[in-house]
Amino acid sequence: MPQASHPSRRGFIQQAGAAAATTSLVTGAMRSVHAAENNTIQVALVGCGGRGTGAASNALSVPNEKIRLVAMADVFESKLNASYKGLSQGFADKVDVPQERQFIGFDGYKKAMDCLNPGDVVIMATPPAFRWVQFTYAIERGLNVFMEKPVTVDGPTSRKMLAINKKAEEKNLKVAVGLMCRHCEARDELFHRIRDGEIGDILMLRAYRMAGPTGSAATGPKPGDMSELMYQISRFHAFLWASGGAFSDFLIHNIDECCWMKDAWPIEAKASGGRHYRGDMVDQNFDVYSVEYTFEDGTKLLLDGRTQPGCHQEFASYAHGSKSCATISAAAHTPARCKIYKGQKFTKKQVAWAFGPDEKNPYQLEWNHLIAAIREDKAYNEVERGVMASAVTSMGRMAAHTGQVITLDDLMECDHEFAPGVDQLTLRSDAPIKADKDGKYSVPMPGLVTNREYA
């Protein structure tokens, strides 16, 4: 989509360019790197959990393509083994990962990438805290990249990723970010219809992800037989340093698809949230979040997130215009079931346009588009958009966690980097945060700790 340009965003990109010009994060000739048309594209999977395995499955499912999985890496052997077993059963002729190309440990990403040739593809599906570290090495190796969202969790890493990406652009590397809704054909048609004025001027957007406990967001005490670091990584949704917490990992898609329809990024957020019925849960998340995002023209995006059992559930996004309204997504990521209505009522009788029943899976489409760009050597880099979506999401989270009105400038300029030593972690390292004597961790305290999200 065309990117909206307001002063804050321009400033971030200019700062990133300056940082890239003065840093030597990567080396090597600035050359075009792409797979030859008749060659097999080799893939390495870094991060073998459910999302990584799903991404690898989509990669191997690109139609009429020669693609082979040749290396895998994770810090948990059990996850790698389960992923390997599932992918081998599903794609017996496309998985060639013998024991010597299965790597366990924090340096496994390097070993897996070293199995590839320039122009091959690495999938980065570890917790996002490690994204900038692995992206740096991928650029050095001349690899095309698929990275899962979010790509950053705080201001310092957002600035860092924008700077690092300048080298990827100079090398003409193709980089996809797992905001797959942007590849949805239904949403794309809705975007163009909104842009052409079918619902009038957008006056308000609404988004909801209200469900029961999700992922590892609600986490109990650490088992005695696991190190602190490995426990936190295994339950990464529970810890802000690893994932940005439940807010960043689960709400980013709704936020991003709304920003797409608005064709802009919000510049300010005010929010509230809280923890309830916690029992022995020790994670850093709130159970409920409510955010009012404001765009530069004053338009609002209202976001509600909740992970509590027994409550009303809704997973959808909506747009209200001066003429009528629209459903951006109806009940999860796919199918979107996009519709435009005749007025402001979301009823069957009021439907003026609907995309239709045959929606293609956007998880697959994003891979089809990436591989096509590699084969055709077309410019393809989603990092800037991924960083902006991640930063806007973090802005709302920071507003809820501090109890303050937070601007995009506030978030980007905040010096609280959640895991500054993440590139130095080993299996024997201390975790970025530590439990107190009762086995509990620092949690956000709105109004008491206001300049950072946790002490």
The CA distance from 220 to 242, in Å, is 17
Element (H, E) at 76: none
Query: What are the DSSP calls for 113-177, one per residue?
Result: HTTSPTT-EEEE-S-GGGHHHHHHHHHHTT-EEEEPSPS-SSHHHHHHHHHHHHHHHHTT--EEE
Q: Report which of residues 12 and 275 the model is more confident about.
A: 275
User: Could you tell me the pLDDT band of residue 279, with boundaries at 50, 70 and 90?
Assistant: confident
- Whether 158 and 152 have beta carbons less than 8 Å apart is answered as yes
Indicate the CATH number for domain 7-181+364-382.
Answer: 3.40.50.720
User: Could you tell me the pLDDT band of residue 33, with boundaries at 50, 70 and 90?
Assistant: very low
Q: What is the structure's pLDDT at 2?
A: 36
pLDDT in tens, 290-334: 999 999 999 999 999 999 999 999 999 999 999 999 999 999 999
Q: What is the structure's pLDDT at 3?
A: 39
Task: Say which CATH topology domain 184-357+393-411 has.
Answer: Dihydrodipicolinate Reductase; domain 2 (3.30.360)
Q: What is the structure's pLDDT at 20?
A: 38
pLDDT in tens, 68-98: 999 999 999 999 999 999 999 999 999 999 9
pLDDT at 372 over 60: yes
The domain locations on the chain are 7-181+364-382, 184-357+393-411
Q: What is the structure's pLDDT at 38?
A: 53
pLDDT at 15 over 80: no
Mean pLDDT, residues 114-127 taken together: 98
Look-up of token digits 């509230």: 272
The sign of the dihedral angle between the CA atoms of 49, 50, 55, 59 is positive
Mean pLDDT, residues 161-177 taken together: 98
Residues of the chain with pLDDT > 70, as a percent, come to: 92
pLDDT at 49 over 50: yes
The pair of three-digit structure tokens given for residue 197, joined into one six-digit string = 């004025």
pLDDT at 19 over 80: no
